Amino acid sequence: MKKFRFNWVDVVIIILIIAIGLLGFAYLKSRNTVSNAQMTKLYFVFETNKNIQSIAEQFTPGTIVTFGVKNVDKGKITDAKVVPYTNEVADIVNGKWFMRDIPGLYSAQVRIEFDGYESDSSYSGSQEQIMVGLGTVISGKGINSEGYVLDVGRIQ
């Protein structure tokens, strides 16, 4: 059996593998940031999916939460209120649609403030964009909920 000898072809292959790895890492890191964005104080209003009242009441101002699908960005709840859960239903008599409260079910509308990025076209945390209508997850001490974003903007 022949003994393996290290030569210049092996060195070139190793250098190419390292270079491709570094380029891939740089690409993945850069695509998670918003171009031309400035760090600023932002907020978003989050509405939870349907819950019973005691769960909806667990969202309290002052709680530190993480949000987003990657569960990396952090913010602080500054306002929270419990509202009846509504669902869109059709009136079979006249065919019109309307919103109706569902008895026994509630949602929490939570305002979360955080340090994020604002550009001409979007808002984002450190890892993900935040847009109205976007489904997201928030979790913190004693809370974990799915829902969607109702409003997003810069704190004045």
Mean pLDDT over 84-111 rounds to 89
- pLDDT number for residue 27: 80
Cβ pair 117, 83 in contact under 8 A: no
Cβ pair 68, 137 in contact under 8 A: yes
| Domain chopping of the chain, boundaries | 38-154
Using CA atoms, how far apart are residues 129 and 150, in angstroms rounded to an integer? 14
Question: How far does Cα 71 stand from its chain's mean position?
Answer: 7
Indicate the pLDDT class of residue 126, thresholds 50, 70 and 90: confident
pTM of the model: 0.69
| Structure confidence by residue, pLDDT tens digits, 127-146 | 788 889 888 889 888 888 89
- pLDDT number for residue 65: 92
| Structure confidence by residue, pLDDT tens digits, 10-37 | 899 999 999 999 998 888 766 555 555 6
**One-letter amino acid of 40:** T
Q: Provide φ and ψ at 49, rounded to 5°.
A: -70, 175
- pLDDT number for residue 45: 94
Nearest to 57 by CA among 99, 117, 109: 109
pLDDT surpasses 80 at 4 = no
**One-letter amino acid of 92:** I
Using CA atoms, how far apart are residues 89 and 131, in angstroms rounded to an integer? 26
